[in-house]
């Protein structure tokens, strides 16, 4: 009985250890993931701590912002836009706790949605469903988030520092 209990505890510790991201930016997000604040209207600068954002029903969002171009093949029911100011050029990861659609829109370049450099399924055991990486120059961007069925999405962003 004692060996079964010790085995169970050891496997739980191993699962906890296996849930740590080897990626420094995603690991930093993970460390703060459960301490997210809630915002309905937010503006961000560079990397930011986890925040739970409130999305609007799509008709309300489009009444507020005009027609939203969402590249997802799925029909979205909720969306919102957030200002994101980048002061330090670099590669930025943005993560979400759900399969929400996330576009980074370059305000200075004709409102074009940028293509991510890479995508990862995140660290689902820690609540990070997916993460996208973008190279962003200093400037102003719009973060467009849309969801099929959820009116709240937790997101976080961080800049990757180049190895020395």
pLDDT tens digit sequence for 7-53: 433 434 444 456 877 777 877 888 888 888 887 667 888 888 889 99
Share of the chain above pLDDT 70, in %: 85
Number of domains in the chain: 1
- Residue 6: the pLDDT is 37
The rounded distance, in Å, linking the Cα atoms of 143 and 127 is: 20
pLDDT tens digit sequence for 77-106: 999 999 999 999 999 999 999 999 999 999
CATH number at residue 149: 2.60.120.380
Look at the block and give the residue holding tokens 């930025």: 92
The rounded distance, in Å, linking the Cα atoms of 10 and 56 is: 44
pTM score of the predicted model: 0.81
CA of residue 47 relative to chain centroid, distance: 11
Look at the block and give the residue holding tokens 């169970």: 8
Angle at 140 between CA 139 and CA 146, to 5 degrees: 140
Name which of 102, 89, 84 is nearest 136 in CA terms: 89
pLDDT tens digit sequence for 99-133: 999 999 998 887 889 999 998 876 677 788 899 99
Q: Is 130 inside any structural domain?
A: yes
The backbone torsions φ and ψ at residue 11, rounded to the nearest 5 degrees and listed phi first, read -70, -35
The residue range of the domain holding 79 is 23-160
- Residue 5: the pLDDT is 38
């Amino acid at each position: 009985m004692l060996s079964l209990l010790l085995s169970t505890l050891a496997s739980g510790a191993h699962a906890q250890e296996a849930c740590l991201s080897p990626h420094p930016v995603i690991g930093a997000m993970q460390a703060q993931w459960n301490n997210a604040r809630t915002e309905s209207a937010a503006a961000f600068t560079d990397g930011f701590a986890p925040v739970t954002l409130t999305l609007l029903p799509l008709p309300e969002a489009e009444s507020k912002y005009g027609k939203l171009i969402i590249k997802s093949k799925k029909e979205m029911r909720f969306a919102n836009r957030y200002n994101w100011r980048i002061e330090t050029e670099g590669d930025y990861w943005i993560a979400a706790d759900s399969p929400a659609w996330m576009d980074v829109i370059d305000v200075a370049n004709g409102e074009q949605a940028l293509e991510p450099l890479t995508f990862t399924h995140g660290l689902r055991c820690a609540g990070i469903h997916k993460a996208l990486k973008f190279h962003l120059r200093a400037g102003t961007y719009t973060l467009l988030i849309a969801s099929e069925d959820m009116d709240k999405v937790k997101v976080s962003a961080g800049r990757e520092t180049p190895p020395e």
